[in-house]
Structure 1
Amino acid sequence: MKTYLKDLVEINGTKKSRRFAYFIQFLIIFSVITFSIETLPDLKPQTRVVLKAIEAFSVIIFTFEYLARIYVADSKPKFVFSFFGIVDFLAILPFYLSFGIDLRSLRLLRMFRLFRLFKLVRYNKAMHHFANAMKLAKEQIILFMIITLMLIYFAAVGIYYFENEAQPEHFSSIFSSLWWSIVTLTTVGYGDVYPITVGGRIFTFFILMIGLGIVAIPTGIISSSLTKAVEPHDDEKEDKLK
């Protein structure tokens, strides 16, 4: 039984494994579509009943898949606390919580159903390469995020001292200046809050230049790591051809 389930739920190239993988992928996409349909206003009661039945069926299948993967895992704790283990768990969690909690009062829990989309990563080679690239670049990304947070705070402090007296309604404190700092460093520029003093505008110019670099740096880090993640697979293909 364990061998049969292992061949079924794990991606190993067999016919039944591929069929199960295609079925799960279809169910993921179908359940996400029905989740979107649920948000339509003025749905008929009969339609809501059908949507709930589809949701229940999907969760039953996802629960079976989750328990089967735990059962066949070589290290059960390792799978449970792995990325895919957590995603599988969060994908079914809202359904079971709905029996004891009114999800209308905790609407945020419904968003956990979107974790089903992350289940697709398991079945896509390109997404696997991206996940491996993120692992390779983990330290650089963490360092980049720390530096970015420091720059955001620095920008908020700087604009506060330049603009506080001129625009106390927008820059009343460093905390209120953080919105401007985030919008400016990410080069979004909503235009709802902007400097009017000469010093503030000069300061903003330098922050914008730094912001352009902030946008470009993670792209370079991820693309470099993605190249490293794909190269071993390319080498394996070449060896097979030889």
Structure 2
Amino acid sequence: MITLDDDAQRLPRNPCRRLRRALITALSDPQPLPPRRRPTSRLSEPKADRCESDVLRDSRVSARKATYLVLSGANTAARRFETFLIALVITNVVLVIIDSDPYVGTGQGTAFRVGYMAFELFSLLVFIAEYAARLWSCVESPGGPVACCGWNARLRWRLAYASTPLAIIDLASIPPFAFDLIFEKDDRMRGISLIRTLRIISLLRLERSFRSFARVLTVLGNQRSELGVAAFVAAILLLMSAATIYYLENPAQPEHFRSIFSSMWWAVTALTTVGYGDVYPVTTAGKMFGSVVAFLGVGFFALPAGTVSDLGASRISAHLGASTLGYSREEEEEDGSSRDELETIQAALRALRREQHALAAALLEERASLLQQQHRQRSSGSGWWDQAAAAGESVPAGEPPRYEARSL
């Protein structure tokens, strides 16, 4: 049986042909395209979660790396710790609201006060430990200083992290709890009491989990030109309304419209359609002008507010849709480029297979013609004697010699 390898061995020993044969042999069976990756739902465990979980279970990972993955990773332990912090912050805010009632500090509220102080001490210790752990493990973040870097590089990285907005919020939420524990409830410390109300600033810690302010700032940044024009026109309307109402109402109400500056309060309430009712025009001209200002305020302030809200809703919907599918635009582009590359490789493999088949057909055809020629020479013995006599060779008696297949 004649195969491609048998005939290929008879070819001249050309390095190019040997390389081509090795390439054809290695790529003669192309693999089919892998199926397109299906988007994962939000409830399924992402790939990064499995990887980080494996890292956490590895005994060779450092304690600092494990701490960073728990505080800032996407694994199960990180999600549980984040849920614990959210519950702790919300509970503290609810207790601050309840503690503002004067009945809580006396009588039946004494037991509540003791429990509240114990819970506040626990929260303070947790917040301090969390801030210290984040400051210690931030050098393990992507792009941070590697292990071979010196302590000065890690110190600069930690100082850079401490100046980020989220780190500043974490640090600013600690002193109000400490002041409340140190000074308790003392009516003589009114300034400290005002500082205690800053415990509500711990709500800003939730920004790390929900990223709400970041999305709002992104929307405002994309609409900064439109909002700048709206703010400029609003300032002009405010000044013109205050000046006009001052000259219309000052003779009738000099105590309410003493100057253009004092008239701006009425202009603000009229343009924003709030209308507190403490200052209002009493003259006919002032009432007519106030009606015009109110209509201008409704039409003017509703336009930019609607634009910003629509853009923000579309951005949030797009973000939630992408997170629900678990399939980001970068992953789609990467998947598309990989698929195009695989299609190109498969096309090249098909071309190599066609060239391989053509080469095999040529070798088989050459081998068949050689065998036919040998068969004709064997079947016609007289032809051999005639050729030998014409060449002047001696013709031996007996049967003609048998030809053996020559190697190419």
TM over 0.5: yes
- 1:85 equivalent among 167, 171, 184: 167
Output the CA distance in 1 between the equivalents of 2:175 and 2:221: 26
Matching residue within 52, 75, 84 for 2:117: 52
Report 1:42-191 matches (<5 A).
Answer: 42-43=103-104, 44-73=109-138, 74=144, 75-98=157-180, 99=182, 104-124=190-210, 129-137=215-223, 140-141=226-227, 144-145=230-231, 147-191=233-277
Q: Name the amino acid aligned to 2:310.
A: S
Say which SS state the counterpart of residue 35 (structure 1) adopts: helix
Verify: 1:220 aligned to 2:307, yes or no: yes
d(CA) in 2 for partners of 1:146, 1:62 = 43
TM-score normalised over the length of structure 2: 0.52
Select 2:81's aligned residue among 20, 36, 45: 20
Alpha-carbon shift at residue 70 of structure 1 (Å): 2.6
TM-score of the two chains, using structure 1 as the length reference: 0.82
Greater helix content: 1
Matched residues, number: 241
Structure 2 CA distance for aligned equivalents of residues 154 and 142 of structure 1: 19
Distance 2:193 2:166 in 1: 24
Q: Residues 161 and 36 of structure 1: is their aligned pair in 2 closer, same or farther, counting only changes over 3 Å?
A: same
Structure with the larger RCO, 1 or 2 (CA within 8 Å, 6+ apart): 2
Q: How has the CA–CA distance of structure 1 residues 210 and 129 changed in structure 2, closer, same or farther, with 3 Å as cutoff?
A: same
33 and 234 in structure 1: CA distance in 2 versus 1, 3 angstrom threshold: closer
Does structure 1 retain, via aligned residues, the 8 Å contact 2:124–2:178?
no
Question: Percentage identity across aligned positions?
Answer: 28
Pairwise CA RMSD: 3.1
Q: What's the counterpart of residue 22 of structure 2?
A: none
**Structure number with larger C-alpha Rg:** 2
Deviation string, structure 1 residues 109-135 (Cα, Å, up to 9, x no partner):
233222222222322266654454344
Shift of residue 233 of structure 1? 6.7
Task: Work out which of the residue numbers 64, 67, 71 in structure 2 matches 1:9.
Answer: 71
Cα shift at 1:230: 5.1
Residue segments in structure 2 that go unaligned for 5+ positions in a row = 1-62, 139-143, 145-156, 336-408
After TM superposition, the structure 1 stretch with the greater mean CA deviation from structure 2, 21-30 or 192-201, is: 192-201
Cα offset, 1:24, TM superposition? 0.2
Give per-residue Cα distances to partners, 1:196-220, cap 9 Å, x unaligned.
Answer: 2233223222321231121441331
Q: CA separation in 1, counterparts of 2:129 and 2:225?
A: 36
